[in-house]
Structure formats: C-alpha cells, structure tokens
C-alpha cells in the first residue's frame, strides 16, 4: 500500500423517486411508532403484570402529587430559618445528632444544646435545630412550628410511645415533613438480624407516616459522634429539601423564641418574687404579619398584650449574593444565645460581643503595656 487510504463514497440521500416519496409520506404522517408497535407487537407487550402495575401506580402518584391546590407563597425574599425539630425517646441520641449536624455545617463544636440553635447552612438556607423534650406540652408546641421533624428511633429497642405520641399530635395542625433516623445500629452484632430489623422498622415507619417516607441509618459512633459521611449525607438531604407551607403556619404570625431577657426591676423581684414581669422575647417572625400592641399567646404561660414590636438586625444573616458555590468559614454562622455561643448578641439597647478567652488575655496584656 502506498499509505493512501481510499475515501469511501458517501451515502447520497434520495430526494426524488418512489422510495423518497414513500419516506416523505411516512415522515409526514408521523406514525413511525404506531408502525413499530404493529410490526413487533411482542416487544411492546406487557412482560410482567406486577411491574406494569408498579409503573402505572408510580405515574399516577406523580400526577396526583402535582394536583395540589396552588398556595400563595408569602415567604419573604430572605425567608426565616427552617425549623427542624429533633424528636425521640430519652437517650436515643438527639443531642448527639444535633451536635454532629452543627459540626457538619459550621465546623464548630457545641457543648450543651440549650434552646434553639440557628445556623447558616448554605447561600440561601438557614436552619434552626430544636430538641424536643419528652413532655406533651413541648411536643404540642413544637409540632405546630416544625417545618421538618427528625424522628429518632432506637433500632435496638424499636418504636416507643413518645414516637407515636408525637405523630398523633402532628396530625392536628397539618403534618410537617417527617424523616426517620435509626440509631444504635451498632448494637447488632449479627448482620442478618440487622438487615431484618432495618427492614421491619422501615415498613413500620412507612405505615405510621406514609409509604416511601425517608429513613436514614446512623450505623454507629466514632469517638462519641456519628460517622462523618452519614451525617454529611443527612445534612445534604436536609439542606436541599423543599417544604410545603402548612395552612396553620401561613395563617398565623408566630415566633419561635430563641432568647429571653427579663427587664423587670431586680428590686421588685426581690421584694415580691411573684410580681408581674416585663420581658422581651427575641426570635424570627414567621407566618403572617405581627401587629404591634396586639394580643399574643405565650405557650404554657397565657395570653398577653404586646407593649412593643421592634425590628432588630439579623443575628445570623445570610451571606451577600456572590457567584460562588460554597460558603467560606466566615459565612458559616452559628447563633445559639441560650447555649451561650454565637459571638454577637443583640439586645434592645446594646450589642454584646463574646470574646474568646485567648483574645481577652491579649487585650489585657496590651492595656498593661500602654
Ligand atoms: N452505641 C451507640 N450509642 C449511641 C448512639 N446514639 C447515641 N448513643 C449514646 O447514647 C447516649 C445518649 O445520647 P444523647 O445524645 O445524650 O441522647 P438524648 O436523646 O439527647 O438524651 P436525652 O436528652 O436525655 O433525652 C450518649 O452516651 C450517646 O453516646 C448510637 O447510635 N450507638
């Protein structure tokens, strides 16, 4: 061979003649698919009735899911943080899970979980974690305001009364989104039992919540924390989740108080410990507009009249709009005033800045030098 490759003749499409006309007619009628079905009926026949039923059900499910009555989206441009309530029987791992999720999002370690903890989890997302105590009043209050419920279940024990109680309470004001989390999976030594338990609990959970409800598995602990990858997956799932506003939540103004300040004169309290107190409550306003001087109900306390409503700077602001994918360290904010972290605390008349111990020492040294 002399190295030259002979060029193949290219296919020339016919534009005239009987074949071309036939093709053109076929194209215009658009019955190619019909034709195929006729020509090869076996390929399009139902192979398995079960699979066919499943496909049909799935298609119908997706169709009906779209049939929701459209709701007016009243959320402001910068929506308040999403409320995530962590529920479960005692010692199931609620505090551990919140601590791990906070560490996953903000890279900060929190000691005690006390009151709501708000974090910036993404460019447009903020989350508020609340641990639900196992008394009926807390459950009722939190079921109303929850956007997402993380329902912790001790796999070595199974479902407990607290879980069912909370589920029943949830039905009153509209069901928030519920996600199950199985813990204590490391107590199973036998793989077969573990698989069986997981399956049983999953089906039980589906019966209680809805078919196909998401259930996460936390398969063990490393140095007192859940496995990083599992927590990361759970965090990712939470932060991209979409929430359908519940009717109760969109028709009422409500505040999940994350900080309280007693403004009563200490002298007055000393002389009469049961005197009327003046308190200021802080929190993000959710739902509808809150009227100044209006009547409010404080859960577990009673009905009161507001003396004043004020806007305060956002203690946990979203990052400024910038074109980048992830948050930087400065933007991963954490606000948990009841747990005593967060750095900056806004009061009615003052701003407190928490300085770490090392910082304080440095300043004192500087002052002495001066
Ligand atoms: N082996 C094992 N231990 C766990 C697991 N989850 C939690 N624990 C342990 O269970 C204990 C209780 O965890 P917490 O996070 O304090 O549980 P809690 O639900 O907040 O408890 P209360 O606030 O008292 O209701 C801790 O010592 C954890 O180390 C798990 O998956 N496996």
Here the CATH number for the domain that contains residue 104 is 3.40.50.300
> Hey, whose CA ends up nearest to atom 3 of ligand 1?
184
In this prediction, residue 345 carries a pLDDT of 56
Residue 348 has pLDDT above 60, yes or no: no
| Under 8 Å between Cβ of 286 and 145 | yes
Which range, of 27-41, 64-78, 93-107, 344-358, averages the lowest pLDDT?
Answer: 344-358
C-alpha pair distances (Å), 228 with each of 104, 194, 340: 8, 21, 25
Question: Strand pairing of 279-287 and 295-298?
Answer: unpaired
Verify that 273 and 196 share a domain, yes or no: no
In a domain, 9, yes or no: no
In a domain, 273, yes or no: yes
* Location of structure tokens 């111990």: 357
Residue 154 Cα to ligand 1 middle (Å): 9
| Under 8 Å between Cβ of 226 and 182 | no
Verify that 176 and 259 share a domain, yes or no: no
| Under 8 Å between Cβ of 349 and 319 | no
> Hey, whose CA ends up nearest to atom 28 of ligand 1?
93
Question: Which of 305, 327, 345 finishes a domain?
Answer: 305
Measuring from each residue's beta carbon to the nearest atom of ligand 1, which residues come in under 6 Å?
88, 90-96, 183-184, 186, 218, 221, 224
Verify that 178 and 91 share a domain, yes or no: yes
Verify that 245 and 263 share a domain, yes or no: no
| Under 8 Å between Cβ of 333 and 117 | no
Residue 64 Cα to ligand 1 middle (Å): 40
In a domain, 130, yes or no: yes
Residue 153 Cα to ligand 1 middle (Å): 11
Residue 92 Cα to ligand 1 middle (Å): 5
Verify that 114 and 211 share a domain, yes or no: yes
Question: Which of 202, 232, 249 finishes a domain?
Answer: 249
> Hey, whose CA ends up nearest to atom 25 of ligand 1?
90
Residue, of 285 and 337, whose pLDDT is higher: 285
Structural domain for 300, as ranges:
252-305
Residue 203 Cα to ligand 1 middle (Å): 24
Verify that 145 and 196 share a domain, yes or no: yes
Residue 220 Cα to ligand 1 middle (Å): 11
In this prediction, residue 313 carries a pLDDT of 79
**Mean predicted confidence (pLDDT) in 243-251:** 79
In this prediction, residue 56 carries a pLDDT of 93
Residue 286 has pLDDT above 90, yes or no: no
Q: What is the ipTM of this complex?
A: 0.95
Alpha helices per DSSP H over the chain: 18-29, 32-39, 49-65, 94-106, 136-145, 161-170, 191-208, 228-239, 247-251, 266-271, 357-369
Verify that 243 and 266 share a domain, yes or no: no
Domain tally, the chain:
2
Verify that 156 and 280 share a domain, yes or no: no
Verify that 289 and 204 share a domain, yes or no: no
Question: Looking at ligand 1, which atom is closest to the CA of residue 92?
Answer: 19
């Amino acid at each position: 061979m002399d190295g030259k490759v002979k060029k193949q003749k290219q296919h020339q499409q016919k534009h005239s003649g009987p074949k071309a006309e036939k093709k053109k007619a076929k194209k215009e009628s658009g019955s190619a698919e019909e034709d195929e079905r006729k020509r090869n009926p076996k390929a399009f026949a139902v192979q398995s009735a079960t699979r066919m039923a499943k496909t049909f059900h799935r298609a119908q499910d997706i169709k009906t899911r779209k049939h929701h009555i459209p709701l007016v989206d009243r959320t402001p441009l910068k929506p308040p943080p999403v409320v995530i309530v962590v529920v479960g029987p005692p010692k199931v791992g609620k505090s551990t899970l919140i601590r791990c999720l906070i560490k996953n999002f903000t890279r900060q370690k929190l000691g005690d979980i006390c009151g709501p903890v708000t974090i910036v989890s993404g460019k447009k997302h903020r989350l508020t974690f609340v641990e639900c105590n196992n008394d009926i009043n807390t459950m009722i209050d939190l079921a109303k305001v929850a956007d997402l419920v993380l329902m912790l279940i001790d796999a070595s024990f199974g479902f407990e009364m607290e879980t069912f109680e909370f589920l029943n309470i949830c039905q009153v004001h509209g069901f928030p989104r519920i996600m199950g989390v199985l813990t204590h999976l490391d107590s199973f030594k036998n793989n077969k039992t573990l698989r069986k338990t997981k399956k049983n609990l999953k089906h039980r959970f589906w019966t209680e919540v809805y078919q196909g409800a998401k259930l996460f598995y936390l398969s063990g602990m490393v140095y007192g924390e859940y496995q990083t990858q599992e927590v990361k997956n759970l965090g990712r799932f939470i932060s991209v989740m979409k929430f359908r506003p519940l009717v109760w939540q969109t028709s009422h103004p409500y505040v999940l108080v994350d900080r309280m300040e007693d403004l009563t004169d200490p002298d007055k309290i000393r002389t009469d410990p049961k005197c009327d107190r003046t308190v200021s409550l802080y929190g993000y306003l959710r739902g509808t507009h809150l009227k100044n001087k209006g009547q409010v109900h404080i859960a577990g306390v009673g009905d009161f009249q507001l003396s004043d409503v004020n806007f305060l700077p956002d203690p946990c602001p979203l990052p400024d709009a910038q074109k980048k994918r992830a948050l930087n360290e400065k933007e991963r904010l954490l606000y948990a005033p009841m747990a005593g972290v967060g750095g900056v605390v806004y009061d009615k008349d003052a701003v407190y800045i928490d300085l770490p111990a090392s910082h304080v020492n440095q300043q004192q040294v500087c002052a002495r030098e001066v």
